Structure formats: structure tokens, C-alpha cells
Structure 1
Amino acid sequence: MRRYALLILSVTALLPLAACTTITPEERRAADERTCAGYGFKPRTDAMARCLLDLDLDRKADLRAFRAQQDYRWSPVIVERPVVVRRY
């Protein structure tokens, strides 16, 4: 019974680490090259270089948009209450 509890505890502790995956720049480049090759671009051509550049620029634009959305979500809320001044 104790082994079973220890097994469940270790799997539960390691599960969040398994969910975190990082991709190295070399792996990202290889994946991008496979994507562009899948589109029909030939290796070592200007068209392939342009495809790789476009993928990188799209990735950076997505990251900027995500960060802008996060900044907006966590920015302080400003509440304005108009002051009405009546003249008699």
C-alpha cells in the first residue's frame, strides 16, 4: 500500500513538469523547414528563406499580441466619476 501511495505521489509531482516542454532554436528551425517544405518550397532557395522569415515574423507578431492582451487584462482599472457643478 505504501509503494502504491508513493507511486501516485511521484506521478502527481512530476506531471506538471511533463506538461512543460521547451523547444530549442534548432528544433524550431527544423520544424519551420519541414513546414515550408510541406508548402512546396525547395531547400536553399530564396523562396524557402522568405517562408522561414514569414513564419518567424508571424510567431513574433503573435507573441506581441499575446503580451498586449495580457497587459490590458492586468492593467489597473480607472473609474472616472464626473463631478456635476450646478449654478444657481
Structure 2
Amino acid sequence: MRPYVLPLLAVLAAALAACQTLTPEERRARDEQTCLGYGFKRGTDGFASCLQRIDLDRRAQARYDSDWVMADMAYNLNGPYVYPRYYRYRH
């Protein structure tokens, strides 16, 4: 086996492990722990508001991220094209 294959596989495995998304249950549990860490008690209006704010922040971040992706795609599709020197008009 070539000497660079094993480190490459290790990096690939680590990258794939980092890409795992949370299930809705795991995300809810993590959000609840965050709100409890802020000092809110379960079953109170403050706790519900905390969970709602976290969810709204997550949605806003997703919209922001998708807008940047779309803007980047639009720029690449309609952006400036630089012609090579040999296509330029010569006097």
C-alpha cells in the first residue's frame, strides 16, 4: 500500500464523521440543555421562549447560508468572463 493512502483515508473518515447531522430529537435535547444552562426551568414561559429563539436563530442562519450559496452561484453563472488575449480585437 502506498504511504499516502492511509493518512488520506484517516482524513476522509474524520471529515465524514464531522458531517453527521443531528436528529431532531438530539437537536431538541441539546437546545433544552442550552436553555437549562441559561437558568430557565422546564415548563415555564421563559423556557419556551428560549427554545423558540434558538429555533428562529437556526432558521435565520439557514436562510443566510442558502442566500450566500445562491448569490455565489448567480455570480459564477452571470459573472464577468475574461477573454484570453488572443480573442481581443487588434488595431
TM-score (norm 1): 0.70
Name stretches of at least 5 consecutive residues in structure 1 with no aligned partner. Answer: 80-88
Cα deviation for residue 34 of structure 1 reads: 0.6
Rate the CA distance shift 1:5–1:73 in 2: closer, same or farther, 3 A. closer
Q: Describe the shift of the 1:13–1:50 C-alpha distance in structure 2 as closer, same or farther (beyond 3 A).
A: closer
Look up the match of 1:39. 38
The residue correspondences of 1:61-80 to structure 2 (distance < 5 A) are 61-75=60-74, 76-77=78-79
The 1:72/1:38 distance shift into structure 2, 3 A limit, reads: same
1:48 partnered with 2:47: yes
Letter in 2 for 1:77: G
Structure of higher CA gyration radius: 1
1:7-18 paired onto structure 2 within 5 Å: 11=10, 14-18=13-17
Q: TM-score, normalised by structure 2?
A: 0.68
Identity, % of aligned positions: 44
Q: Secondary structure at 1:41's aligned position in 2?
A: coil
Runs of 4+ in structure 1 displaced over 4 angstroms? Answer: 4-13
- Report how far residue 20 of structure 1 moved: 2.0
Counterpart amino acid of 2:59? K
The Cα offsets for residues 7-50 of structure 1, whole Å up to 9 and x where unpaired, read as 66764663443232120101100100010111110001111001
- Consecutive unaligned residues of structure 2, counting only runs of 5 or more, are 82-91
Query: 3-state SS of the aligned residue for 2:61?
Result: helix
